Structure 1
Amino acid sequence: MLAACGALLAGCASMPDEGNMKKVDASQRPDSQSQVRVYAMPPPEDAGAVDIVQGFLEALTSDDPDFAIARKYLTKKASDNWHPERSTTVLADGPNTVADNVGNDNEGERTYALTGRRLATVNEQRAYKPDAGAYRQAVHLTQQNGPNGRVWRIDAPPPGVVIGESDFERNYQAVNKYYFASPPKGLGTARQVGRQQGLVADPIFVRQRIDPLTETVKALLGGPTNWLRQVVRTAVPEGARLAPDTKSLTPDDKNKLVVPLNARADTLGHDRCTEMAAQLLFTLQDLTASGVEQVELQRTNGSQLCVLSKDRAETVAPHRTADLPAYQYFVDGAKKRLVRMPGNTGSNAAPEPVTGPFGEGEQPLRSAAVSRDEERGAGVSLDGRRLYTASLVSKGSLGGPELRSRSKSESDGFSTPSWDVRGDLWVADRDPKRPRLLWLAEGTGEPVQVNVPGLDGSIKAVRVAADGVRVALLVEKGGKTSLRIGRIDWADGKGGQPDISIVELLEAAPQMEEVTAMSWAGVSRLVVVGRESGGVQQMRYVQSDGSARTGATLPGLTGVKEIAASEDERQPLVAHSDDGIVRLPSGAQWQTVVKDGAKPVYPG
């Protein structure tokens, strides 16, 4: 049945070799989301030129290792020069095949164009990047001698793989590789102790039915993607790869995975070896049900370098850089003070004021943020022009503001602040005449203005990820707001202060015309509130690399103004909506906490 299915797919379209331009849809099948394996079929001997093009495109969507069948549609020289592993182009509405040979009367030659609306590209490092635009690529065919006469073959194929969005979602699986965060430059050594071992997620895509475990291990050993490379480190020695004779990796009956390495890893020390094993273990945990409980690294002669279990891996490299939050927080509607409620989903305890001046209502607040250790808070005054910090564990009076904004309008001023993993504070001053992104060491002292080269618009909101490496920004331009993810680069500055930049901004929700609220909701995932072009407001999860996920939309909620999530994905979402402050426990529906409140936040 499967072979018959493959034959049907390979021959599902035809088009005359001559005449006016027509269009053939290559991969828009109603069952493309199913998990039925698709087997490519080799070209029939009597296939016309367009059937060869169509068969080649269908072979690209199959579960064929190394694209061996797709190569049968190419000439020998074209096959030798074609490298499908180097790039994948994802199209929304294609690839479509259009006759491009009008006026071309050369005997034994045909030219067609592959067209479509490009959504993204996946590079040789398997990194996804949104890349919207029109796609058009010429494909040239020639006739050559076959066993039973002349046959058509492609001698100029498209570079890499070209595939429709639905087939990409069926064939490819998202995986997070893990690397260690590099210590930022320009900070004192003492402030970095205890945080250098945190792991940073590096999202990639692998073909989900073509030995994804082995391919993921290879990708991890190959090093971080270019976007992340400058701010992370790896325990993998330079040039270390799988042993040359290793074809496939499979856990044994005790879920232990043995990873034989080449000679570049033979002299690896024990501490660094266990770090490398921890990277592998956490990476494979994100590979759905890999089942790996233990990793053993081996030298080229088969002797053991080190072995590490999943239970011990957390002591080598903390997987979750954010501590499990004890509370969720918001600003109450009556006294504009900061209140908290237990983080436990099943708790029915009423919200209570936090300890300290923010809980006493001494200064009415518009928004607030809580440090990741839940010991300090930062609050923005009701008019948005003053930023304060205070203890959340001891009582005392509120001192003077740490910062002042010159904004004339109460709708501008400071954004909701964000604490990073080192206890430093980030905030955007949205004064139209002097917009700035500011960083305060430990929430106090002289602010540092953060450089954002390439920023096209003004920053309306900022959220620093728990890994301390990435930052999410809401950027407004022309009345529309989009979500951007930037990398935090550190350098030695003047006067003992670091020089900080947010660089290489990526669009993280390209499918949304406007994003109005967002929060980190995992190691490389965010929850956003917004709308698509012509659509209504929705909440959905998006990935930091801008890739979409099937079924990522959340249950509906009316009039959502703010959203808060924990980087620990087990914690419930909290939102401010027309129904007040509401909470979404896992597997349940939205539940109202209080009718009057605003600006819900988790620590961070």
Structure 2
Amino acid sequence: MRLSALIGCAIVVLAGCGSMPTTGDVKAVDASQPDDSQVQVYAVAPREGAPPSEIVDGFLESMTSDDPAFATTRKYLSTDAQRTWQPSGGITVLAQAPNRSGPLLHDEASRATRDTETAYTLTGQKVAAVDVQSSYRPLAPTDYSQTLHLVLEKGPDGEQEWRIDVVPDGLVLGQSDFKRLYRSVNKYYFATGRTGGQRMLVADPVHVRNGTDPVTRMSTATQTVTTLLAGPTNWLRPVVDSRFPTGTALRKGVTALAPDDQNILKVPLNEKADKADRSACRMMAAQVLYTLGDLTSARVERVELEGGRGKLCSLDADDAEAFSADNGSGGPDSQYFINDKGQVERLPGAAEGDVTPEPLVGPFGLGTVPMGSVGVSRDERRAAAVSANGENLYVTSLESADELAAPLVTSTAKKAADRLSPPSWDGHGDLWVADRNPAGPRLLRLTGGAGEPQEVRVPGLDGSRIEALRMSADGVRIALLLSKDGHTTLKIGRVERRGSAVSPEISVEDLRQAAPQLADVTAISWSGRSRLVVVGKEEGGVQQVRYVQADGSTSSSGALPGVNQVESVAAADDELLPLMAETVDDGIVRLSRGDNWQTVLKEGTSLVYPG
């Protein structure tokens, strides 16, 4: 039967109430009802003589509460289980609150007189898991089954009470409860494996508790800094590092971090932080500034790090921007597209209102060879384009009127759909493209957008073909649209760089599903440091456009206003810039914050922001 709100279940009130009501009836409700982010759940202890089913229901409901240290939740457990249960041992996320099956309710009274133990099975559809590093991983819906074993145990008053004595570590939550209780945040580390140049910060998404964590009693900001100091998640660890010395942690007893009235945030660290020199300390402060950038209502203007011997260093927010992977050209990003003659044109500066396209200087603007797709480097100095027949990849300067050079990549596939994918630039000036030739599919990288293309290994494709790709600004993640058995899905891979500058070795490792709920994904674009815009549909569903985090998680605010027959999307590194889309009927349309989709151009294809 469905988990029900019986006597002994948690009491639920709307968040924001100043106090509990003292008069009127108490109405029990299901804490796992969807789309109720304002619900706050208060745990209540089991009542005397509660039957096993009520103990199980009360325990599950109590897990959805903000019960400090889960002290009340533990009262549903046996003495031994109270001591050993670790609620911080990860989270199992189910599509709905768990169902439980076991002895029928009318059997409990008679069985209680002769039995001293019983068991209930929790079932549901598992859709995600959060590990002990707070790292979220979406899963294709799979059957979940877990047994809770109960025994009769003598209570403080000498009476026998049913308690759970076998319980898995961690929490089991329905998806709506998980989204109510936890939020996605980005912590930041520095990209490794570079042959030179500026070290760039990379977003590492994790989920932390909204408000105060029941176990640590830490605020959301403090939880986030704690996860930052603990180091990168296992998935990202091979391609990033932290400048915090090993063992660095918040000073004992720190549970709340907040900027002062001058927007200065002081972060007290233990003595391990004293090992950092000034250069490393400034990089540590940059990690904190970016990590807390989206968490506080007021902008943190400066971070001051304190070690065991006092102040270590400080860094202003403006100075930290030098470590960003999305600096781009330093100005408002333009948009680029291909007109009906195969010429590349530009929409200047993400302008609002009516815009007049500008032809590019040079061969792409002249249309010497008609083009079918285009990609512009993030500094807006060079462009790459694939010919309209998909056969050749060209690269040219956007600052001079040079003649069209020879193609850098040529596909020999017989069909245009089997030739080159649209190109994509990373934040380090490298150019990426896929050759979809069935006789020899390849993922290619051109260092600096020039020279001989280098083939990139992609283990784990499992017979899938790369249809399209988009590189993240930091250059350590790649979003791939992979087709197999008539479906196209989205996966995120980790770009690992080994070897030397002369002989680099590049591979895409550990591909992960980023939108397993969508049976088909038709278009993608990075939007900011750790988010993508995805166009796709569920099995048997209609097309939708929504935001998805790089770890595959979504939020209730991820859905975007509907727009018909989207063929491609384009988003900028700067999330404040409009979202663009190419549609079948309305041409190129734009979505600004707080507005609806508006037509910008009736004709045009392959619209992109730099990247």
User: Contact 1:91 / 1:117 at 8 angstroms: preserved in 2?
Assistant: yes
Give 1:398's match in structure 2, choosing from 394, 400, 404. Answer: 404
Q: Secondary structure at the match of 1:113?
A: strand
Does 1:597 find its partner at 2:599?
no
The residue that corresponds to 2:533 in the other structure is 527
1:363-512 matched pairs, under 5 angstroms: 363-456=369-462, 457-492=464-499, 496-512=502-518
**Under a length normalisation based on structure 2, what TM-score does the superposition of the two structures give?**
0.90
Check 1:353–1:170 CA distance in 2 against 1; reply closer, same or farther (3 A cut). Answer: same
> After the TM superposition, which of the residue ranges 588-597 and 172-181 deviates more from structure 2?
588-597
Deviations 1:74-107 (A, max 9, x none): 1222122211112100000221111179999982
Q: Secondary structure at the match of 1:476?
A: strand
Check 1:345–1:143 CA distance in 2 against 1; reply closer, same or farther (3 A cut). Answer: farther
The residue that corresponds to 2:37 in the other structure is 34
Q: CA deviation at 1:490?
A: 1.0
Q: Secondary structure at the match of 1:600?
A: strand
Write the distance in 2 (CA, Å) between the matches of 1:36 and 1:249: 25
1:120-139 matched pairs, under 5 angstroms: 120-132=128-140, 133-139=142-148
**Under a length normalisation based on structure 1, what TM-score does the superposition of the two structures give?**
0.91
Q: How much identity, in percent, do the aligned residues show? A: 49
The residue that corresponds to 1:262 in the other structure is 270
Q: CA deviation at 1:534?
A: 1.6
Q: CA deviation at 1:147?
A: 2.6
Unaligned runs of 5+ in 2: 13-28, 213-218
1:312-331 matched pairs, under 5 angstroms: 312-315=319-322, 317-318=323-324, 320-323=326-329, 324-331=331-338
Write the distance in 2 (CA, Å) between the matches of 1:326 and 1:247: 40
User: Contact 2:272 / 2:307 at 8 angstroms: preserved in 1?
Assistant: no
Write the distance in 2 (CA, Å) between the matches of 1:519 and 1:158: 39
Q: CA deviation at 1:319?
A: 6.3
Write the distance in 1 (CA, Å) between the matches of 2:528 and 2:144: 33
Write the distance in 2 (CA, Å) between the matches of 1:263 and 1:7: 50
The residue that corresponds to 1:199 in the other structure is 201
Q: CA deviation at 1:259?
A: 1.9
Q: Secondary structure at the match of 1:38?
A: strand
Write the distance in 1 (CA, Å) between the matches of 2:292 and 2:269: 17
Check 1:65–1:281 CA distance in 2 against 1; reply closer, same or farther (3 A cut). Answer: farther
Q: Secondary structure at the match of 1:523?
A: coil
Q: CA deviation at 1:294?
A: 3.0
Does 1:77 find its partner at 2:63?
no
Amino acid at match of 1:204: V
Amino acid at match of 1:551: S
User: Contact 1:27 / 1:167 at 8 angstroms: preserved in 2?
Assistant: no
Check 1:591–1:128 CA distance in 2 against 1; reply closer, same or farther (3 A cut). Answer: same
Q: CA deviation at 1:291?
A: 5.4
Deviations 1:426-470 (A, max 9, x none): 101011121111111122222111111111310000110001110
Give 1:304's match in structure 2, choosing from 293, 304, 311. Answer: 311
Write the distance in 1 (CA, Å) between the matches of 2:54 and 2:546: 40
User: Contact 2:49 / 2:161 at 8 angstroms: preserved in 1?
Assistant: yes
Does 1:349 find its partner at 2:352?
no
Check 1:27–1:227 CA distance in 2 against 1; reply closer, same or farther (3 A cut). Answer: farther
The residue that corresponds to 1:289 in the other structure is 297
Deviations 1:41-65 (A, max 9, x none): 1111221111111111111101123
Q: CA deviation at 1:293?
A: 3.5
> After the TM superposition, which of the residue ranges 164-173 and 99-108 deviates more from structure 2?
99-108
> After the TM superposition, which of the residue ranges 203-212 and 264-273 deviates more from structure 2?
264-273
Write the distance in 2 (CA, Å) between the matches of 1:329 and 1:603: 8
Write the distance in 2 (CA, Å) between the matches of 1:209 and 1:390: 51
User: Contact 1:94 / 1:117 at 8 angstroms: preserved in 2?
Assistant: no
1:546-557 matched pairs, under 5 angstroms: 546-557=552-563
The residue that corresponds to 1:17 in the other structure is none
Q: CA deviation at 1:285?
A: 1.4
Check 1:288–1:36 CA distance in 2 against 1; reply closer, same or farther (3 A cut). Answer: farther
Q: Secondary structure at the match of 1:70?
A: helix
Check 1:326–1:94 CA distance in 2 against 1; reply closer, same or farther (3 A cut). Answer: closer
Q: CA deviation at 1:571?
A: 1.1
The residue that corresponds to 1:111 in the other structure is 119
Check 1:351–1:11 CA distance in 2 against 1; reply closer, same or farther (3 A cut). Answer: closer
Does 1:214 find its partner at 2:217?
no
Q: Secondary structure at the match of 2:418?
A: coil
Deviations 1:189-219 (A, max 9, x none): 4xx22x31x2110000111021211111111
Q: Secondary structure at the match of 2:121?
A: strand
The residue that corresponds to 2:565 in the other structure is 559
Deviations 1:121-144 (A, max 9, x none): 000000000123110001101111
How many residues get paired?
A: 576
Q: CA deviation at 1:275?
A: 1.5
Write the distance in 2 (CA, Å) between the matches of 1:292 and 1:399: 48
The residue that corresponds to 1:172 in the other structure is 182
Does 1:158 find its partner at 2:164?
no
Deviations 1:151-195 (A, max 9, x none): 1111111221000000001000111001111143xxxx4xx22x3
Check 1:353–1:29 CA distance in 2 against 1; reply closer, same or farther (3 A cut). Answer: same
Q: Secondary structure at the match of 1:411?
A: helix
Unaligned runs of 5+ in 1: 13-25
The residue that corresponds to 2:252 in the other structure is 244
